[in-house]
Amino acid sequence: MPPHVLLTLCVFFWAGNAIVGKIASGHIPPFTLSFWRWVIALIIILPFGFRAVCRQWKFYRNNWKYLLVIAFLSVTIYNTFQYWALNWTSAINVGIISASLPIIILLLTTLTGHEKSNAYQYSGALLAAVGVLYVISGADIETLIDLSVNVGDGLILVAVLGWAVYSVLLRRLPADIDQVGLLTMLIVLGIAGIIPFYAWDLTHGKTFVLDRDAVLMLGYVSIFPSVLAYVFWNRAVHAGGANLAGLFVNLVPVFVAVLAIIFLGERLALFHLVGISFIFAGIYIATRLASRRVEIDSRNL
């Protein structure tokens, strides 16, 4: 399949994850959903990743602390907190707040000294931050002043921050690391981090009935956003480049909004549109305009 098709499927799978997570909030406890999602995903990927892990076992053994951190930030925190957040907030809010990820990564790389930022990037980051705050507050500034932000919005923001830190740390990995083996190790270590959350569900009597709906929900989150999206993403980046892939990530909140309206009956309010406009404008200024400025400056040298 061409990269555009692969990337569209990735975006659709990730958007669907938010929708299924919202539907599951009334049937499967969030920590339980996160735990079994990754256990099933591990069963699927283990036959392919086990040999890769064995081939590069020396690297995993020598860097287990680093791997434990990035597994905790990605598999444990990001996914668990997303499902947890959906108990209080809408799928649309989750999609829009998640759209701020590129800007947060940009700020982190600047603060850690990995990259230098210019006025365009700072301006874009400010616009995106305004958009996120606008969505979180529901267009009511008093909500922010009173610190009465929806718990779910706060949780998804923590999840996005965790994924951003993970993305920055991921750059330290050697280029020759086998991606399937790496995913296998991250899932194993990430599940270890989810176990305390899952134990909390069990000790508080939070269980679920393994009926047809539960099987379908677990099957979707385990296969499509966990395994297939990862494989499709890697193939698309290899064929079409990272820049093209980055553009498609911006479509996640759009897909989430459409699916939420169709399947959840959620309503797209004016403050959603205003907030996402600020975020998209910030991303455009911080990436496209900033890169054009660098090209112009390099030509003038």
d(CA 236, CA 10): 10
Range(s) of the domain holding residue 49: 3-299
Helices (H) and strands (E) in the chain, counts: 17, 0
Q: What pTM, to 2 d.p., does this model score? A: 0.84
Q: Is the dihedral of CA 230, 236, 242, 248 positive or negative?
A: negative
Lowest mean pLDDT among 46-50, 60-64, 86-90, 242-246: 242-246
As given in the structure block, the two tokens for residue 104 are 């947060």
Number of folded domains in the chain? 1
Note the pLDDT tens digit of each residue in 5-58. 898 899 899 999 999 999 998 899 999 999 999 999 999 999 999 999 999 999
Name the residue among 31, 11, 250 with its Cα closest to residue 155.
Answer: 31
- How much of the chain is in helix, strand and coil states, percent to nearest 5? 80, 0, 20
- pLDDT, position 213: 94
Residue with token string 């890697």: 234
Note the pLDDT tens digit of each residue in 103-133. 787 778 777 765 666 777 778 777 877 877 7
- pLDDT, position 253: 83
Q: Where are the beta strands (DSSP E) in 115-156?
A: none
Q: For residue 290, is pLDDT > 80?
A: no
Q: Is the dihedral of CA 208, 211, 213, 215 positive or negative?
A: positive
Stronger pLDDT, 230 or 116, i.e. the higher one: 230
User: Please, are residues 185 and 71 in contact by the beta-carbon 8 Å criterion?
Assistant: yes
**DSSP 8-state class, residue 260:** I
d(CA 84, CA 201): 12
Stronger pLDDT, 215 or 130, i.e. the higher one: 215
User: Please, are residues 208 and 214 in contact by the beta-carbon 8 Å criterion?
Assistant: yes
Name the residue among 165, 173, 169 with its Cα closest to residue 104.
Answer: 165
